[in-house]
Structure 1
Amino acid sequence: MTTNSHYCPLAFVFIMIIIYPHVHGECSLDCGSHGGRCLQTKIPDMSEICSCPDGTYSNSTCLDVADGQENNVTSINIHARRLLAVCEHSFCGDTGVCIVIDSTFGCICPDGAIADRCTANTNNAFISYCTGGCLNNGVCNPLTGACICPSGFMGVRCEIARSTDLCRDIVCRNGGVCNVISPTYATCWCLLGFHGDYCERQTVAPRCASSRCYNGGTCYEHSPASTIFAYCLCRPGFIGSRCEVEYFRCPTNGFYADAYGCAQGKYFECVEKTIIISRSCPRGLRFNFFLGRCDYASNVACPAL
């Protein structure tokens, strides 16, 4: 079985039956009374998981799924999570099987172990270029030991600047165009009525006194050159010129894709199950919530809106 197939719930039921005899020892995780079973793993910071009767896996309890706690989540959020949660970027090898566990993934290895990756020889060492730290906002890939570089930089530690590459994977919104301003900086030039790092903000009124922002949005005045105009800064999970559309709610704690800001490297962190924090990757990178870190844009498929 290969790892480049898409997530299939029916396949997980078959996998669950195969791997269960390989798991030994006592599990302390309460997987609920709906037929969930606790499995021990070798995944760092996730020593136990629940194998649920619907073919999914959870690091908490199957009651989260059985009780329908995702019913209040908007369809666009569910679409974003499922579209990105595929196993083609896993490190399970040609003979390991990738499984989705809430906001991360695991591997069912040929020896029956459930781990963060499968290797023929776990003692094999690899050269780590990012143990000394990545430069210029580069992101370390702990599985390969290489640095993932933002737009405009390259090299094993992202130490080489390439001005001609500064607009790589920078996606401007609302008709904006990326332009190189200096040897180390590029920005989006926006059409009239839009501004922001990615032209994501829209003018709503000449001044805040005549503007109204909904759903807890805050009005700010922007004064480029001699002009002044107002715009609404929306709370995370809301969009629209006046923050009138809600498109994301936290289903539980963890990291989630931002369907509207994905191409700009935006993603959400949910804490205390209801608090949404907006996060951002270095310029030109996107958050691969399947791997739990920022990654090259070519490795992350953003949801179609």
Structure 2
Amino acid sequence: MFIFIILIIVSHVQGECSLDCGNDGGRCLETKIKDMPEICACPDGTYTNSSCIEIEDKNDNETEITSINIHARRLLAVCEHSFCGDGGVCIIIDSTFGCICSDGGIADRCYSDINTGLITYCTLGCLNEGVCNPILGVCTCPSGYTGGRCEIARSTDLCRDISCRNGGVCNILTPTYATCWCLLGFHGDYCERQTVAPRCVSARCYNGGTCYEHSPASTIFAYCLCKPGFTGSRCELEYFRCPTNGFYADAYGCAQGKYFECVENTIIISRSCPRGLRFNFFLGRCDYATNVACPAI
């Protein structure tokens, strides 16, 4: 189970910080997380709820990562090459990263005055399923589109960041349409569905999965459509349950822009970003795939 934590962090401005963040550039930040009121943003790009000095003393081969003492080396290269600007600190939470700005806000990049020199295309509305980036004032565009409002169609980008599953390959069919070509026995938008039987009468789906028949050309075959949180050709494997309300990663569908919303503590709703985008749990919105690393399955 992969649990993602969304931090809302503000600069520590009152009193003395109780953490020893070291004398080599470590910064103390205050969070609104009940069990983690303060963290150190360390100069090596990591952060901890204890001390940057303790992090420096850790063995380089140590890979333990917890929600309280996160030492996310696997995404350190991404954080090092991101530009937070104007005193921002790049911080990683599991598989996403973002900037903590001097005013405590979470953003893609930090600016002294976010209104300076920015054209707020978002106020005009994003086109073609684009997602507003309120910090930069422009739209995050799905595959096949570009421009401040995603108004420019670019057919050569239709397969940008499209991850087909089970050996499938993305192919551009027309200037406005691309799809995954699947290996025999698989189909779906991302080749995510697997043939289990010739017809539903001979197929059995587990854990509340529903059998459907697919009839491309003259052939007919059956597949199981699983309830959120289950996977496998017959929905035999459960991989996610709601720990509490909120948004969580879909480990099997992350690369295809899928994520979960939990409501009433137990009900799982499957959500999806526009094609080519992934849900950034740090920023709380769909983002470019290069900014979101999916969890290992």
What TM-score comes out, normalization by structure 2 length? 0.70
Displacement, 1:176?
Answer: 0.8
Instruction: Measure, in 1, the Cα distance between the counterparts of 2:122 and 2:247.
Output: 24
The 5 Å alignment of 1:164-175 reads 164-175=156-167
Displacement, 1:251?
Answer: 1.5
Instruction: Measure, in 1, the Cα distance between the counterparts of 2:71 and 2:238.
Output: 19
The 5 Å alignment of 1:56-95 reads 88=79, 93-95=85-87
**Aligned mate of 2:155, from 154, 160, 163:** 163
Displacement, 1:179?
Answer: 1.0
Instruction: Measure, in 2, the Cα distance between the counterparts of 1:178 and 1:303.
Output: 22
**Aligned mate of 2:265, from 273, 282, 291:** 273
**Aligned mate of 1:221, from 202, 206, 213:** 213
**Number of the residue aligned with 1:193:** 185
Q: Contact 2:90 / 2:97 at 8 angstroms: preserved in 1?
A: no
Q: Could you tell me which runs of 5 or more consecutive residues in structure 1 were left unpaired when the two chains were aligned.
A: 1-11, 24-38, 42-48, 57-77
Instruction: Measure, in 2, the Cα distance between the counterparts of 1:269 and 1:82.
Output: 26
Displacement, 1:177?
Answer: 1.0
Displacement, 1:196?
Answer: 0.3
**Number of the residue aligned with 1:231:** 223
CA offsets per residue over residues 259-302 of structure 1, 9 Å max, x none?
11111111111111111111111111111121111111111111
Instruction: Measure, in 2, the Cα distance between the counterparts of 1:299 and 1:99.
Output: 12
Pair 1:143-2:135 in alignment: yes
Q: Contact 2:214 / 2:223 at 8 angstroms: preserved in 1?
A: yes
**Number of the residue aligned with 1:52:** 35
Q: Contact 1:236 / 1:277 at 8 angstroms: preserved in 2?
A: yes
Instruction: Measure, in 1, the Cα distance between the counterparts of 2:117 and 2:11.
Output: 33
Q: Contact 1:16 / 1:55 at 8 angstroms: preserved in 2?
A: no
Pair 1:21-2:27 in alignment: no
- Aligned residue for 2:290, secondary structure, equals helix
Q: Contact 2:257 / 2:277 at 8 angstroms: preserved in 1?
A: yes
Q: Contact 1:85 / 1:290 at 8 angstroms: preserved in 2?
A: no
**Number of the residue aligned with 2:290:** 298
In structure 2, give the amino acid aligned to 1:214. Y
**Superposition CA RMSD, Å:** 3.7
Displacement, 1:255?
Answer: 1.2
Q: Contact 2:106 / 2:283 at 8 angstroms: preserved in 1?
A: no
Change (3 A) 1:104 1:174: closer
Pair 1:242-2:234 in alignment: yes
Instruction: Measure, in 2, the Cα distance between the counterparts of 1:244 and 1:82.
Output: 34
Q: Contact 1:104 / 1:292 at 8 angstroms: preserved in 2?
A: no
Instruction: Measure, in 1, the Cα distance between the counterparts of 2:134 and 2:16.
Output: 28
Instruction: Measure, in 2, the Cα distance between the counterparts of 1:82 and 1:261.
Output: 25
CA offsets per residue over residues 194-226 of structure 1, 9 Å max, x none?
000000000011111111111111111111111
Instruction: Measure, in 2, the Cα distance between the counterparts of 1:16 and 1:133.
Output: 29
Displacement, 1:20?
Answer: 4.8
- Aligned residue for 1:21, secondary structure, equals coil
In structure 2, give the amino acid aligned to 1:143. I
Q: Contact 2:11 / 2:104 at 8 angstroms: preserved in 1?
A: no
Give the share of equivalent positions with the same residue, in percent: 71
Displacement, 1:135?
Answer: 1.1
Pair 1:260-2:243 in alignment: no
Change (3 A) 1:104 1:270: farther
